[in-house]
Structure 1
Amino acid sequence: MTIRFPAGRAAVLLAALVSTGCATKGDLRDLQTEMRNLAERQDSLMVELRRQNRTTQDSIRRTSDQLFETRGDVSVRLGGIENSIERLTEVVGQMQQGLVDVRDQLGSGGGMRGSMGGSNPLGGGQPAGDAVADYNAAVRVYNMQQWTAARMGFEDFIQNYPSDELVPAAYYYLGEVWVQLDEPENAIEAYETVVQYHIGSDHAPLARLGLGLTYLEQGETALARNQFETLINTWGDHEAADRAREALAGMGGRPS
């Protein structure tokens, strides 16, 4: 049976055996073999330690890179959130100003037709000035591009004053609002109300143009062409007819 010793003890034992003359050749070979095996295992362990060290360093490097990227992503998102908050604050401020303007309009009763006076066509006890003030308030919000508030304003006006002479204009603007809100079907319905029931209104050619443009945006070129041609044939000298001619030219048609 061969007795194995740790490297240190093997070296000491070898020296002792040699000094006392007790070591045999077999013992020396065994000790030398054991020392070589120990050296090889030591080298193998060193190689493994170096490999693990490189792996650990690579892992630390990747983690550091990920943390850096995460910090950058978080910074970008925080910047986006701050910009959104600023825009939201601006919109809220505009809406508040719009409400103040609406309140002022309701209080003053001034506006586009404020000098006309007269009684309410519905005979409901409200003076015509209230209808004018409500309409002008809705237009003011519309001009501020507060589309949802403008929609509510024009819808309320139409509901409260269905026989007022400003109703066709309110329907036209309502169609424009629906376009901005990306609701083409509702826009078409509002425009068609003008051209079907208020054909003599000053806003009828504008509503016809709105119909044509809305159909064109929806890819309904035949319907769009029909609206443009009808507009040109009916109101050829109107500014809206010039717009219709331009649209037809862009479609490859021959404007009338």
Structure 2
Amino acid sequence: MKHSLKGLCGAGALVLPLSVWAAPVVEDLSANQQSNLYQQTQVRPEAGGNLVLFNQLQDNQRQIQELRGQIEELRYQLEQQKNFAQERYLELEKRISGFAASGGGNTAQGGGTPSSAEQGDNSDAAVAAADQEDRQAYQAAFQKVQARDFDAALTAFESFVKNHPDSPLRANGYYWLGELYSARSELEPAAQAFTTVIEDYPQSNKVPDALYKLGLLKARQGQPEASKQLLNRVQQEYPDSNAASMAGDFLNQSGL
């Protein structure tokens, strides 16, 4: 019996360590939970980043659409300017044809009828006051317009206004410089020439035409308010002129 107990105790001594080492292992799930939470927090910023990229993409698309609209508007304005330039050129051609048919001349009030002044009628104060040299130089320049040699006409009128500073026909010379520059779509020098007629020669019969043409140029230059003011001025100050009638037509058609 003692031997049996002793054997059991010995066996127990052997079993006890085994039972201790064989105890069930309890896992620490908190570490896994923290790991999963970390992974989740890593995913959320990624999702937020995708949302930011999506919003940026929408903003870019909206900006592209706005730019396309601006491009279309600029294209429309450019086309309008081309149309205005062509209209002015055709008007100049019409005037030249009228001058050639009537033996030469210039429109006093902007219409298609040549004034008697440049047909040799001395009732026009400017022509009557001009001496023979002035008239010859002016007619030589104008004949180049009639011949449709616009480059030569431009050079001739530049020379005329430079070499005849006191000529009563100088306002007419500046007016034709405005017409010729306008036909070449050189808008700034054309505007300067018409402005010279208006400001330096307020008594000239070319002022109504110059106001009207400057109003058209301002429209071509993208300055609708300035254009409207000039065209209204023609109607108010020269209501009986052909230029006033044409200014009214342009205002109605353009919607200024």
- With structure 2 as the length reference, what TM-score do the two structures score? 0.49
- With structure 1 as the length reference, what TM-score do the two structures score? 0.49
